[in-house]
Chain A
Amino acid sequence: MKLNLSEIRKDFPILERETRAGVRLIYLDSTATSQKPLSVITAMDDFYRRSNANIHRGVHTLAEESTALYEGAREKIAKFINAASARQIIYTRNTTESINLVAYSWARANLKQGDLVILTEMEHHSNLVPWHMLQAERGIELEFIPVTEDGLLDLEMYKTLLSRRPKLVSFTHMSNVLGTINPASEIIRLAHEAGAIVMVDGAQSVPHFAVDVQSLDADFYAFSAHKMCGPTGIGALYGKAALLESMPPFLGGGDMIKEVKLRSFRPNTLPHKFEAGTPAIAEAIGFGAAVDYLSGIGMDNIAAHEHEITEYALERLEEIPGVKLFGPSADKKGGVAAFTLEGVHPHDVAQILDRDGIAVRAGHHCAQPLHEKFGIQATSRASFYMYNTKDEVDLLVNGIYKVKKMFG
């Protein structure tokens, strides 16, 4: 079903603002964080106006309400990625914390010196640094699935690496720079055949297309609310129940315990075992509202719209002399267009586009090794979501021509 863009845009109050007098915002930075629909903003506002209380254990009306809202959101999130049960959804601060939870809890309990972890060359720093830290602490080994010139994972090399019997394979479902949508099912199946546990960084996938953690057979799946119309400060880790059960707690404190003695404690059951302290309650409720919003539009409809916009954007950007695009063709990627413009630093491109209200990101996008691989320091990146239009792509293209003229 084709999206009704004018209706969708009305859901996002920020899209009406001007960045300067007479200059309307053209938001092309959803890969960094998405904008928020009114339903999400209202859900959090309502919570603070009506129901605010700490969750669990309280018996008064507000505590009951806030607990029901908080846990209700977890149910929605579980359903959204087709988890078998809501207790397999651990609230975290974001994808980064979800990955760190696995690195601290599962990996420190299961990996020893010399054990191999396979990552890829297109990972975000959040799926690199936790493993660097574990390498320094434990002496684990790291190998990387190479990225080909056209921005795809080299699966032949992956198969060769798997013969070394890795304990863990952790990879991004969709690259935040190249936009590449990796063949997750195949990567996971091959890893399981080699006896490895698999974690997927879903920060860019869950917001943009339908993800089914059970059909993927992922062991862990990490994602953030703020990239999928939800608030900042909340994310989730999905895990297979048996794995989560077997893992030691991550952070210690209130809520994660069943019983505490002066010299000992018994951890709580899932998912609370991993949720120490008062969590981001309003944000969790906002996360639930975001999932409702996305489900209401339909993930397949969102994916189809983004594909159309991306295809158009790549075509138009390619026409501009001096523009070099990174990543695969539109059929293999999500709504991301990272590019360089000959003779102009990406920061200057972004700054000059900002004069016309066009928000794109410039830098290494927390994927420095990937940029090094392509022999560049930085790129400018335009990214698209369900609220972006072809007109906005045209304005971006006009803006880049202005940059060229200025530096010409």
Chain B
Amino acid sequence: MDDLYREVIIEHYKNPSHRGKLDPHDISFADNNPLCGDHIQIDLRLDADGFVADARFDGHGCAISQASADLLVESIIGKSLEEVKKLNKESVLELLGIDLGPVRLKCALLSLKVLKAGVYGLGEASDELVE
């Protein structure tokens, strides 16, 4: 609990390294967390072999949602789409280095839902994507 606002999270919230948009991009997807109105958009650019060449996130929300988006986007650069598809809840919690209750878990997982919905080419970022 006291780790919830670890320095790394506050740092990524205040000074994100991968905030922004990519134009042109190969994949782009956005969605909201209806609970608190968090909004995340993720843009990916792929290289010739289908690996993530660059990635950015944009949006607004709480420290947990924004820091997890920044950490997630940072972590997928250089990965194949197959590897991205394998990411799950544990991958995000590992990046954050904290444990979360059910309410804040939704904030933390919004970016992964958006990322996977984009990679799978789905219309909606559903909860099943991050189970």
B-binding residues in A (CB < 8 A): 20, 344-348, 351-352, 355, 362-364, 368, 371, 377-378, 406-407
Task: Name 17 interchain pairs, CB-CB below 8 A, sorted by A.
Answer: A20-B1, A344-B63, A345-B36, A346-B36, A346-B62, A347-B61, A347-B64, A347-B104, A348-B63, A348-B64, A351-B62, A355-B1, A364-B37, A377-B37, A377-B60, A406-B5, A407-B10
Inter-chain CA distance A20–B1, complex, in Å, is 11
B40 to chain A, nearest CB (A): 13
A126 to chain B, nearest CB (A): 16
Contact-residue bracket for chain B:
10 to 19
| A377 x B4 contact (CB < 8 A) | no
| B37 x A348 contact (CB < 8 A) | no
| B36 x A407 contact (CB < 8 A) | no
- Decide if B69 is an interface residue (CB 8 Å cutoff): no
- Decide if B14 is an interface residue (CB 8 Å cutoff): yes
- Decide if B107 is an interface residue (CB 8 Å cutoff): yes
Inter-chain CA distance A347–B38, complex, in Å, is 10
| B36 x A362 contact (CB < 8 A) | yes
Within 8 A of A (CB), among B7-40: 10, 14, 35-39
Q: Which of B10, B14, B63 has the most CB of A within 10 A?
A: B63
A351: chain B residues at CB < 8 Å are 4-5, 62, 104
- Decide if B2 is an interface residue (CB 8 Å cutoff): yes
A356 to chain B, nearest CB (A): 12
Inter-chain CA distance A344–B60, complex, in Å, is 11
| A345 x B1 contact (CB < 8 A) | no
A364: chain B residues at CB < 8 Å are 36-37
Give the nearest-CB partner of B63 in chain A: A348
A14 to chain B, nearest CB (A): 20
Inter-chain CA distance A121–B39, complex, in Å, is 23
Inter-chain CA distance A344–B38, complex, in Å, is 13
| A348 x B2 contact (CB < 8 A) | no
B58 to chain A, nearest CB (A): 15
A341 to chain B, nearest CB (A): 12
B38 to chain A, nearest CB (A): 8
Sorted nearest first, the 3 A-B pairs with minimum C-beta distance are: A345-B62, A377-B37, A347-B62
| A407 x B14 contact (CB < 8 A) | yes
B107: chain A residues at CB < 8 Å are 347
Within 8 A of A (CB), among B62-76: 62-64, 66
A349 to chain B, nearest CB (A): 9
